[in-house]
Structure 1
Amino acid sequence: MADRTSSSITIHAKRDEVMAVIADLENYPVWAGGIRAVEVLEAGPDGRPARARLTIDAGPIRDTYGLVYHWEPDDTGVRWELVEKGNVVTALHGSYTLAESGAGTEVTYELALDSSMPMIGLLKRRGEKMIIDSALKDLKRHVER
């Protein structure tokens, strides 16, 4: 799972406003397509989620799995990794990196995903790209409204 797929988008809001939405995992089902439920299992010392269980319904992938989160200082990013495999999701590493730009905040989403469903590399990268682009557009729409 060395290869990762990434994409970026500019959101017309301050970095801390974007990070507040990203850190509010329990509200993802309200705005993030494909995420049906999020249960925060453990909070870190800063009050942000340290461990959570997500239930997704994203086309052919319907699953529940657990993630652990690592928050960067100064609202510059968050990384997550799979700690509880699902029936379909067998490995997952991802991150959001936030950088201030003249127009607001540039958000870069990076993802590497393995599943129990056999897929050739090209289809896997295309699926990751679809997940990333959809998530970034949903995040932008939610923050900017």
Structure 2
Amino acid sequence: MADRTSSSITVDADRARVMAVIADLPSYPEWAGQVKSAEVLSSGPDGRPETVRFVLDAGVISDTYTLAYTWNGDESVTWQVSEPGKMVSELDGRYLLADTGKGVEVTYELAVGLAVPMIGMIKRKAEKVIVDTALKGLKKRVEGR
């Protein structure tokens, strides 16, 4: 799965504050439009989620699946499917946070693999909607705190 959708946004906050919102996965339904629920199944020694079951409704991509997370301080987090759903067979992504001197640049990269055939253009559009909605929601959530 080489093709990834990527986008960035600058958030007026420090990395710790941005990563705290990213790590609060159960709150995603409040700001990440397509996420209908996020249940933490296990957490690491730092208290951050390690495995999370999601219910996603992104129009053409609706499913329930489990993701495994790897945290790198307040610099990045990566995830991949640990239990695929009926539609989502692969979902690899990451948030990268970089100080800009005027806030934090947050880059969201996402690649979705589906168990059902879908025209590449439609799949890429769904990825773009997920990424853009999440970044805008993250900015609003962090800056509104």
Q: TM-score, normalization: structure 2?
A: 0.94
Task: After the TM superposition, list the runs of 4 or more consecutive aligned residues in structure 1 that deviate by more than 4 angstroms.
Answer: none
Aligned to 2:57: 57
Correspondence for 2:16:
16
Matched, 1:32 2:28: no
- C-alpha displacement at 1:129, in angstroms? 1.5
1:47 aligns with 2:47: yes
Structure 1 position 116, deviation (Å): 2.5
Q: Measure the CA separation in 1 of the matches of 2:27 and 2:85.
A: 21
1:125 is aligned to 124
One-letter amino acid matched to 1:110: E
1:80 deviation in Å? 0.2
2:7 match: 7
* Paired residue type of 1:12: D
Q: Any conservation in 1 of the 2:5–2:128 contact (CA below 8 Å)? A: yes
Larger deviation, residues 2-11 vs 116-125: 116-125
Q: Which amino acid aligns with 2:61?
A: I
Paired residue for 2:88?
89
**Deviation digits for residues 94-124 of structure 1 (CA, Å, limit 9, x no counterpart):** 0000001122000000001011332233332
Structure 1 partner of 2:106: 107
Which structure 1 segments of 5+ residues have no match? none
Distance in 2, Cα, partners of 1:45 & 1:91: 26
- The worse-fitting range, judged by mean Cα deviation, of 111-120 and 18-27 is 111-120
CA separation in 2, counterparts of 1:28 and 1:122?
Answer: 26
Identity rate, percent: 57
Shift of 1:128: 1.2
Whole-angstrom distance in 2 between the partners of 1:3 and 1:30: 28
C-alpha separation in 2, matches of 1:52 and 1:122: 28
Amino acid across the alignment from 1:59: G
Q: 1:124 to 1:58 in 2, by over 3 A?
A: closer
Task: Indicate the SS of the match to 1:142.
Answer: helix
Counterpart residue number, 2:79: 80
Paired residue total: 144
User: For residues 27 and 60 of structure 1, what CA distance do their matches in structure 2 show?
Assistant: 23
